Amino acid sequence: MELAFLIIALAVSVFLLYILCRQDFVLLRQNISLSQILDKAIIAIAFAFITGRILFLINNFEISLLHAIRFFHFIKFPGISSLGFFLGASLALWFLMRGKKGILRIFDIFSISFFPLYALSLAFKNYTGELSFVLQIATFILSLLIFIFFLRSHYKYLMRDGSISLILLLVISLDTLFYDYLNPGRHPVLLDLSITQILGIILASSSLVFLVLNQRKLKI
């Protein structure tokens, strides 16, 4: 059931990507076609799922899933890291679109388009304790508010290109920190912190700094 909803969310995200790219005059002005974006999206999504899966396996020490069949068998062996998915997609996009003047705009468009997929994943997270259901609903509602803010900022140009992606990285990093703290199945590797928590701290701090610099139009 969860996989079916996630597949639907992925289809919605691809449709949003199509809509946002087709109507974006900035990309058209820089000769970045819709077909180019969609072609690169297929590669980025595939790479994102692989990196998300790998980070999940490493963080949870699921060595048994390092098998050709088990690794890709999401129905019987579920589990993927949202942080790994974001990092994988970002690295793939940067490599595929490097040299393009509108790359920051492209990052923001992808962040908005695939946010519904991330939002739905929050609703399926299994928190421990009596407040598990409340946390699922609260994080899902909060994600919807963030999504509305992203859309409004994108269409009204309230933020500089790249800022939406940095905010999403900040949100995913904080979510990873919070979830791993409540998840008794995590495996600490340093100072009672898991691998994804350490990454979350580094990326949350970095994204916040770069967000401030980007909004202030400062250069490093």
The per-residue pLDDT for 191 is: 72
Question: Which helix (H) or strand (E) segment is 186 a member of?
Answer: none
* pTM passes above 0.75: yes
Q: pLDDT tens, 161-203?
A: 889 999 999 999 998 888 877 775 556 666 777 788 888 899 9
pLDDT-based confidence at 220, cuts 50/70/90?
A: very low
Name the more confident of 91 and 29: 91
The per-residue pLDDT for 30 is: 79
**∠115-10-100 over CA atoms, to 5°?**
65
Tell me the pLDDT of the chain averaged across its residues: 82
Q: pLDDT tens, 112-157?
A: 999 988 888 877 777 666 666 777 778 878 888 999 999 999 888 8
- Which contacts of 41-48 are long-range, i.e. CB under 8 A and separated by 24 or more positions? 41/14, 41/17, 41/110, 43/92, 43/96, 44/88, 44/89, 44/92, 44/93, 44/96, 44/110, 45/10, 45/89, 47/88, 47/89, 47/91, 47/92, 48/84, 48/85, 48/86, 48/88, 48/89, 48/92
Q: pLDDT tens, 5-25?
A: 778 888 889 899 998 888 787
The per-residue pLDDT for 158 is: 86
- What gap in Å lies between CA 114 and CA 127, rounded to an integer? 23
